[in-house]
């Protein structure tokens, strides 16, 4: 985990931002993006819904040559143009590598169903995913099959909310798979967007917050997933009282 990451930085080349550009260049964190320095082989993106994590993750994936909807360099199964407007961002990013990685995978929980459909019952392709058609397994089972069989040491892995498929126990199993891949090669690297306090707990990871309209490094204890979970489980009754019966605004307008 202490080895320097193969991908060292991600920079937005302002000269490549189109004139009068709207989405994705109007997303506050993208508007203010200059250079992100990656200093660990696992980097988590955290932040409120809509803060821009998926937008940047997709653009990094595309810039590396992975399909926006997920998959490896060989699998491009984009089924929608809904995010096609994020494509110019990929073209404006400069990825700086200490050691250029040759393979990787972009895993999006949202489009995992489409990946499963794409693979179908094709035995040859399924061999890389543990052999069983993904649609004949539960969401979490198929996700873990992919994590265990498809991810190899020395790859560049981008994941968008992998916890969406996983129970808390399976999230821990997923961290174990991740740790083994990191230990097996100094070139394994992950960038993971997440809302999970369990995943974020991985020791030695870099955590970048997308809140307050800019990307900044934060400590685990300062992340919202950790703070909300902690407040909730430490004193559930009082916390829920505050959430469900907030004090009336003394100065209503
Ligand atoms: N195709 C699109 N066209 C226009 N705006 C978009 C598009 N996709 C996303 N947005 C907007 O860009 C902003 C960032 O969205 P993004 O999906 O990157 O957020 P996120 O941090 O991944 O959120 P979440 O935690 O909910 O997944 C949001 O305000 C969203 O509404
Ligand atoms: Mg997202």
Q: For residue 1, is it within any domain?
A: no
CB atoms near residue 97 (< 10 Å) = 14
DSSP E strands, 147-187: 156-160
Q: Determine whether the shortest distance from the Cβ of 55 to ligand 1 is under 6 A.
A: yes
The domain in which residue 218 lies consists of: 7-244
Phi first, then psi: give them for residue 100, nearest 5 degrees: -75, 125
Confidence of residue 84 (pLDDT cuts 50, 70, 90): low
Q: For residue 253, is it within any domain?
A: no
Mean pLDDT of the chain: 88
- Checking if the pLDDT of 249 tops 60, the result is yes
Q: For residue 48, is it within any domain?
A: yes
Instruction: Identify the three-state secondary structure at position 77.
Output: coil
Q: For residue 250, is it within any domain?
A: no
Question: pLDDT at position 75, please?
Answer: 56
Cα–Cα dist 207/222, whole Å: 10
Residue nearest to atom 5 of ligand 1 (CA): 23
Q: Kindly give the number of the ligand 1 atom that is closest to the alpha carbon of 22.
A: 4
> What is the domain count for the chain?
1
Contact 51, 29 (CB under 8 A): yes
What is the CA(130)–ligand 1 centre distance, in A? 33
pTM of the model: 0.90
Q: Determine whether the shortest distance from the Cβ of 27 to ligand 1 is under 6 A.
A: yes
Name the residue among 53, 47, 29, 178 with its Cα closest to residue 105: 178
Name the residue among 3, 9, 38 with its Cα closest to residue 97: 9
Q: For residue 251, is it within any domain?
A: no
CATH number of the domain encompassing residue 68: 3.40.50
For 196-240, the pLDDT digits (tens) are: 999 999 999 999 999 999 999 999 999 999 999 999 999 999 999
Q: For residue 252, is it within any domain?
A: no
Question: pLDDT at position 82, please?
Answer: 46
């Amino acid at each position: 985990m202490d080895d320097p990451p193969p991908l060292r930085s991600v920079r937005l080349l302002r000269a490549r931002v189109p004139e009068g550009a709207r989405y994705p260049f109007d997303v506050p964190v993208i508007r203010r993006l200059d250079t992100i320095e990656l200093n660990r082989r696992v980097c988590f993106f955290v932040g409120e819904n809509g803060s821009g994590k998926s937008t940047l993750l997709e653009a990094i994936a595309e810039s590396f040559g992975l399909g926006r909807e997920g998959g490896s360099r060989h699998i491009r199964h984009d089924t929608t143009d809904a995010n096609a407007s994020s494509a110019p961002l990929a073209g404006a990013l400069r990825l700086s590598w200490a050691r250029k990685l040759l393979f990787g995978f972009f895993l999006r929980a949202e489009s995992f169903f489409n990946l499963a459909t794409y693979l179908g019952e094709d035995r040859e392709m399924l061999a890389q995913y543990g052999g069983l058609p993904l649609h004949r397994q539960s969401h979490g089972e198929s996700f873990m099959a992919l994590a265990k069989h498809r991810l190899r040491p020395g790859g560049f892995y981008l994941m968008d909310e992998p916890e969406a498929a996983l129970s808390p126990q399976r999230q821990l199993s997923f961290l174990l798979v991740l740790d083994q891949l990191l230990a097996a090669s100094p070139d394994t690297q992950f960038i993971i967007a997440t809302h999970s306090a369990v995943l974020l707990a991985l020791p030695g990871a870099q955590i970048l917050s997308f809140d307050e309209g800019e990307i900044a490094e934060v400590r685990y204890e300062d992340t919202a997933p950790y703070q909300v979970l902690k407040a909730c489980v430490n004193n559930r009754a009082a916390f829920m009282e505050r959430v469900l019966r907030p004090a009336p605004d003394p100065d209503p307008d």
